[in-house]
Chains A and B, each alone.
Chain A
């Protein structure tokens, strides 16, 4: 079955970096884009952006430019999220989520299915 499995929880100090992985299985990895979504403690879902798994071209949402980097290793069907210069406010659960939509007639429609199980990143001194 289609599945996304993420790496385990991380505890980091302010200023450090973290790299979260998301391994896909059960489908052709390069046929679907991958998205990243952040959920701060007790808060809602926030779309961070997506990466084209064919070209490796990333698109970052407003507020997620500069310190956030999406990357791929297509040989192992894995997407990565790297966050540098970590701050306390980066403490959150980070989800990868496969795009399930399509483009037609000049418009694109996208939704996410399935999601990874989430990776908790805690930033604390």
Chain B
């Protein structure tokens, strides 16, 4: 079955830039999407179609895509950005949805 691979954890100091990657063979054909999940809360969409930002999401959140990897970048990380981040995409034939395993972002 198709898988998306994320690093289990990323740590950054406040004000620095965090980059979280997500790799999958179908990503050249499919968009990547990113969700933020804080403890005890439902996931929230922060990036869609690789790099689009929903209304209400701070500008410090951005996304990019290159080959088989999509990347979520958080510029000027703030303490409130500490959360789990999940990428999501689909298989090349758009048959099923898949989530990455999640990345825990720690703000030091």
Contact = CB atoms under 8 A, between A and B. Distances in A.
Nearest to A63: B1
Contacts of A16: none
B42 A47 contact: no
Nearest to A118: B42
Nearest to A95: B42
Given A61-B96, A100-B48, A109-B49, A45 B43 contact: yes
Residue of A46, A62, A112, A118 ringed by the most chain B CB atoms within 10 A = A112
Contacts of B1: 62
A109 B31 contact: yes
Contact of B94 (A47, A97, A108, A113): A108
Interface residues of B, number: 25
B107 interface: no
Interface stretch (B17-25, B64-72, B74-82, B97-105): B97-105
Nearest to B88: A111
B56 to A, nearest CB: 11
B30 interface: yes
A58 to B, nearest CB: 13
A118 B43 CA distance: 10
Nearest to A112: B45
Nearest to B52: A111
Given A35-B97, A47-B98, 6 more contacts: A44-B101, A46-B99, A107-B29, A109-B90, A113-B54, A118-B42
18 contacts: A37-B99, A45-B43, A45-B99, A47-B97, A47-B98, A95-B43, A107-B94, A108-B90, A108-B94, A109-B90, A109-B94, A111-B31, A111-B33, A112-B43, A114-B45, A115-B42, A116-B42, A117-B42
